[in-house]
Structures are given as C-alpha cells and as structure tokens.
Amino acid sequence: MSVEPEVPIVQVEEVRENPVLYKIISSDNHVFTISEHAVKLSKTLWDLITNLGLTAENALDNPIPVENVNGKNMETIVQFCERHKYDEEEPEYTNYIREFVLPEWDRQLLSIDNEELFQLILATNYLDIQKLMDYCCRVIGDMAKDKTPEELRIIYGIPTDAEDDALERSASDSPGPSG
C-alpha cells in the first residue's frame, strides 16, 4: 500500500515506551502516527491492522487510509488514544451519573462546537472507540442538566410534536425522485 501524503506528517506524541508505530491517513490526507497500545482502543483500526497482517517491521511502510474521518477529528482521536492507552479497563457501572467520571483533560479536549462534536462522535462510532464514545455522550448529556423542557428544545434542537408532524407531512407531500 503506498499513499503519498500531500501534507507533512503530524507527530502527535513521541512514543518511547513502545517502539511499534502505525501510520494513519485521514480523509483529507493528513498522516498521523499512533502507537500500538493507543490504536488498540479503536476496534475498527485494530481489526484492520490484524487483517492486513501489519507488523512492527512493515507498519510504518503501510499507512492505513481512513476515508470517513478528517484530519481534525483524527488528531483529537489520536491524542485521546495516546492519553488513555494504559488506562485500566472500565469497571461495570451500576450508576453512570455518579460513578462515571469525565476527567478535566478530556472535558477540555471535547470543549468544541456543536458541528465538531457531531463529526467527532460519528468518527468515534465508525472507529469503534467505546471510551471516547462514552466521554462524548457524557458531554452531550451534561448539557441538559438543570434545564427546562423549553431550554432542552433549544439546546438539542428538538422540534415539538406539531413541528415534527408538519415536517413529516411536507416530506410525504413532496414528489420525491422521478423515474
């Protein structure tokens, strides 16, 4: 596999502890390096690496193209995975609200605008990174705290039932694709 990067390689974090590194190319051709422990947090990427038979010897010569994730999101994801690569496995929570702690570092990382957070959560879902998915959901869930139903409609852009019905009616009234 040989993809010529159009932009310089972004070295997110120098990894000394583990010599095995992988290269990932985002949809907009940014190239990232990521350590083996970090990349294992993404089930999708690790399955890909395993299926491609990449090893310590050939990993850097075979960048992995990820067409569904742009460079901005990939940078956040690589930062996240490097940060949490040695974390212990999450315990079985009985009460997510009280027991699940969102560290301040991650809260800062996820302090991004509506559209960026949406793109990040879709990328996280595609790459199947459970921990980052939980953190994103926690951030979105926390936005609702102590808000009235009216405020929640504004925060989440939730249409009223009447608006929802009107949207459905106009969708069903439209002629749709011809042919």
In whole angstroms, how close is the CB of 41 to another protein at the nearest point? 17
- Out of 6, 28, 47, 142, point to the residue binding another protein (CB under 8 A): 142
In whole angstroms, how close is the CB of 45 to another protein at the nearest point? 20
Q: Strands (DSSP E) along the chain, which ranges?
A: 9-10, 21-25, 31-35, 64-65
Number of residues that bind another protein (CB under 8 A): 40
- Out of 1, 151, 168, 169, point to the residue binding another protein (CB under 8 A): 151
Whole-angstrom distance, CA of residue 36 vs CA of residue 123: 19
Q: Beta strand 21-25 with 31-35: parallel, antiparallel or unpaired? A: antiparallel
Q: Beta strand 64-65 with 21-25: parallel, antiparallel or unpaired? A: parallel
The answer to the question of residue 40 lying near another protein (CB under 8 A) is: no
Whole-angstrom distance, CA of residue 11 vs CA of residue 33: 6
What is the side-by-side strand order in the sheet with 9-10?
9-10, 31-35, 21-25, 64-65
- Out of 20, 21, 109, 137, point to the residue binding another protein (CB under 8 A): 137
Stretch that binds another protein, among 44-52, 53-61, 84-92, 136-144 (CB under 8 A): 136-144
Give the amino acid at 94: T
Residue nearer to another protein on the CB measure, 2 or 95: 95
Pair 131, 91: CB distance under 8 Å: no
Site string for another protein, 88-117 (x = CB under 8 A): ------xxxxx-x----------x-xxx-x
- Out of 149, 175, 177, 179, point to the residue binding another protein (CB under 8 A): 149
In whole angstroms, how close is the CB of 87 to another protein at the nearest point? 19
Pair 41, 35: CB distance under 8 Å: no
Q: Which residues lie near another protein (CB under 8 A)?
A: 94-98, 100, 111, 113-115, 117-118, 121, 125, 133-134, 137-138, 140-149, 151-161, 164
